Amino acid sequence: AQMNLEAGMVNRNLLGRKTRYAYLAIAEPWPKVPGFAKVDLSTGEVKNHFYGCKKYGGEPFFLPRGLEFDGEDDGYIISFVHDEESWKSELQIVNA
């Protein structure tokens, strides 16, 4: 199934080099972002993470676990998320 993906992000420690993973905002229903997709650029596999019922966030940001990393996706995806029912916001941190 196709979906609208926007605002891609990779591990910034690898900028300018070939990367395997990209993290993109799921922009459906447009213009809301209910989650993000981790795309394996070598296999085409897509794993989706949704923020929760009636929760919408911004573009995903990859944060490496530390200065020494064990693999390109060794880190976290962080995103500010707004809950449209409670009108509260939160920072979601997800293992990449």
Return d(Cα 59, Cα 38) in angstroms, integer.
Answer: 12
pLDDT in tens, 67-90: 776 788 999 999 999 999 999 999
Please state the φ and ψ torsions of residue 67, each to the nearest 5 degrees: -65, -35
Residues 18-45 have pLDDT tens digits of 888 999 999 887 789 999 999 999 999 9
**What is the span of the domain harbouring residue 54?**
5-95
Domain count, the chain: 1
pTM: 0.87
Residue 61: Cβ within 10 Å count: 15
Q: How far, rounded to the nearest angstrom, does the alpha carbon of residue 76 sit from its chain's CA centroid?
A: 9
